[in-house]
Amino acid sequence: MRIGIGYDAHPLVPGRKLVLGGVHIPFDEGLEGWSDGDTLTHAIADALLGAAALGDIGRHFPSGDPRYEDISSLVLLEKVKEKLADGGWRVINIDATVVAKSPRLSEYIDEMRGQLSKTLGIGIDRVSVKASSNNGMGFIGRGEGIAAYAVALTEGGQDEGI
């Protein structure tokens, strides 16, 4: 078994949809990014890649590559799952936290969990998503951006001698 940790943050900007965990959330700003800017899904992808010692999301899906411009981060997460499977890894569970001043995310958490569990091919009971406000501190507290943290547990792989 291996554990990976992921983190991602993007600034909020006008004129973009806000997408978190593959769910469109009505809001007057969205997250800047080459893809859809989904910080939650990016943090989960990084946690999974880290658990398998495969680097980070930017290594596999670089900004500036036209194949990934405005792509759904759920598509990227599916590709990460495939990369793990190629190495003999399977996802056991995900625990993630989105940190945002606004909007309030509580009513979207179950839908996010559903999208993520479907994409990863694991039960919804193995995907935890929480939200926090950062209590008014820092760039998040000023409403300038949204961040996410994720931890992933995987098992399998092709480790020898461990």
For residue 26, cis peptide bond before it (omega within 30 degrees of 0): no
Residue whose C-alpha is closest to residue 128's, from 150, 106, 104, 146: 150
Beta bridge partners of 130: 97
Range of 105's domain?
Answer: 2-156
Average pLDDT of 66-90? 94
The pLDDT mean for the chain works out to 94
**Spatial separation of the C-alpha atoms in residues 156 and 65, rounded to whole Å:** 31
Q: Tell me, yes or no, whether 95 lies in a domain.
A: yes
State yes or no: pLDDT of 159 exceeds 90. Answer: no
Provide the pLDDT for residue 157: 80
Average pLDDT of 1-24? 97
Provide the pLDDT for residue 47: 98
Structure-token pair, residue 25:
């959330």
> 76: pLDDT confidence band, cut at 50, 70 and 90?
very high
**Spatial separation of the C-alpha atoms in residues 63 and 43, rounded to whole Å:** 16
**Spatial separation of the C-alpha atoms in residues 100 and 31, rounded to whole Å:** 11
Let me know: does 135 contact 141? Beta carbons within 8 Å.
yes
> 162: pLDDT confidence band, cut at 50, 70 and 90?
very low
Long-range CB pairs of 105-111 (<8 Å, 24+ gap) are: 105/20, 105/25, 105/131, 106/131, 108/20, 108/21, 108/23, 108/25, 111/21, 111/23
Q: Tell me, yes or no, whether 61 lies in a domain.
A: yes
Provide the pLDDT for residue 63: 87
Q: Tell me, yes or no, whether 162 lies in a domain.
A: no
Structure-token pair, residue 131:
């939200």
Q: What total number of domains does the chain contain?
A: 1
Average pLDDT of 92-120? 97
At 109, the amino acid letter reads I
Provide the pLDDT for residue 84: 96
Average pLDDT of 110-134? 97
Q: Which residue has the tokens 């994409």?
A: 119
**Spatial separation of the C-alpha atoms in residues 63 and 117, rounded to whole Å:** 26
State yes or no: pLDDT of 119 exceeds 70. Answer: yes
Instruction: Quick: pLDDT tens for 37-65.
Output: 999 999 999 999 999 999 999 999 988 88
- Which CATH number covers residue 130? 3.30.1330.50
Q: Tell me, yes or no, whether 161 lies in a domain.
A: no
Instruction: Quick: pLDDT tens for 13-40.
Output: 999 999 999 999 999 999 999 899 999 9
Measured between alpha carbons, how far is residue 160 from residues 125, 153, 156 in Å?
31, 19, 11
pTM of the model: 0.94
**Which SS3 state, helix, strand or coil, does residue 28 take?**
coil
Q: Tell me, yes or no, whether 67 lies in a domain.
A: yes
